[in-house]
Amino acid sequence: MSKRYDLIVFDWDGTVMDSTAVIAGSIQAACRDLGLPVPADETARHVIGLGLDQALHHAVPELTEAMRPDLVARYRYHFLSQDAAIPLFDGARETIAELHEAGYWLGVATGKNSNGLNRALDSSGLKGYFHATRTADRTLSKPNPAMLLELMDELGTSAERTLMVGDTTHDLQMAQNAKVDAVAMAHGAHPPEQLRELEPLALVDDFAGLRKWFKANA
């Protein structure tokens, strides 16, 4: 059977790596450190996937430009103290390895910065499987389509032959803006009902469900 897609692009946090709770908790802890209003869990989770500056401004509307460097520093302190211990989701490694072996181009489009993604790729042992990546410090943040457009251009693929896999509405909106198909993962930062509203091709619970969907549809 011929392949439906040439390029599969994964979000990272909340999609491949089970980091949602650590990121949300680090945002909240950073706010406590500085005496800023602490965002609720839902708010802290909702901004995951955006670039860090954008995420902090959304999560903490009271944030002033003068306080931004301190909040970024405190967030990084709390996140990096746990970074090395964050696991991949069950089945992520096997799924990505299978897709690589099957000949797909694989990419990452993430709100992380380049250093953070490189650390995660190295520590997880997945670096060799991905052909290209885009991070929020290298191009425009989601839901702008720039990450996907640049990955498609770099790897010589079209929107019709590209699939986005993500766990947030930011991922799905980016895919829509790039005119790219998308599959949503329900195990991440945004609740399934919000993901369904954006009408992805499928909403799967985990990597077992994603592998099953790939075999039938990709």
pTM for the model stands at 0.95
Q: Would you kindly state where each structural domain of the chain is located, as residue ranges?
A: 7-18+87-217, 20-83
pLDDT category, 183, cuts 50, 70, 90?
Answer: very high
As a whole-number percent, the residues of the chain with pLDDT over 90 amount to 97
Report the topology of domain 20-83.
Answer: DNA polymerase; domain 1 (1.10.150)
Backbone torsion region of residue 179, taken as left when φ is above 0, otherwise alpha when ψ lies between -120 and 50, otherwise beta: left
Which is catalytic among the residues 11, 167, 171, 181? 11
Which is catalytic among the residues 13, 167, 171, 181? 13
Q: To the nearest 10°, the Cα dihedral for 107, 110, 174, 157? A: -20
* Mean pLDDT score of the chain: 96
Q: Return the H-helix or E-strand segment holding 7.
A: strand 7-10
d(CA 155, CA 178): 15
Residue range 90-124, pLDDT digits in tens? 999 999 999 999 999 999 999 999 999 999 999 99
Report the topology of domain 7-18+87-217.
Answer: Rossmann fold (3.40.50)
Per-residue pLDDT, averaged over 47-63, amounts to 93
Which is nearest to 166 in space by CA: 147, 138, 187? 187
Per-residue pLDDT, averaged over 76-84, amounts to 93
Please confirm, yes or no, whether 13 is among the known catalytic residues. yes
Q: Where are the beta strands (DSSP E) in 47-189?
A: 105-110, 132-135, 162-166, 181-185
pLDDT category, 32, cuts 50, 70, 90?
Answer: very high
User: How far, rounded to the nearest angstrom, does the alpha carbon of residue 21 sit from its chain's CA centroid?
Assistant: 14
pLDDT exceeds cutoff 70 at 1:
no
